Amino acid sequence: MWEELESADTLEAKLAQDADQLDFILNLKEEADLGNRYATQWLEIAVQRVRTEWGAELAQTIAETDHKDWWFLGPDPAWWTRKNGKKK
């Protein structure tokens, strides 16, 4: 299984690698938005390492969006006061 992941010959392996990179990109974007100038440099490189079309689109969206918007522009703001997001 490890060899398949490293060779990235299958779609599954590429998606797994993208998932790792997207996790890294999310962390770097938050750090960059908080003023870490080194994170900005790493972010530019990490976005280029994504292998699939879907991953690239998501990585670009992450890079262009303020990290606070992930939380506050998505769900209804009342979601945060209902704990699990469900209406009672």
Q: What is the per-residue pLDDT across 51-86, written as a single tens digit (0 to 9) for each?
A: 999 999 999 999 999 998 877 776 676 766 776 656
Nearest to 63 by CA among 30, 19, 18: 30
Are 13 and 4 within 8 A, CB to CB? yes
Distance of alpha carbon 88 from alpha carbon 33, whole angstroms: 35
Percent over 70 (pLDDT), the chain: 82
Sign of CA dihedral 77, 81, 63, 2: negative
Whole-number pLDDT of residue 74? 67
42 pLDDT above the threshold of 90: yes
Distance of alpha carbon 55 from alpha carbon 38, whole angstroms: 23
Average per-residue pLDDT for the chain? 86
Whole-number pLDDT of residue 68? 86
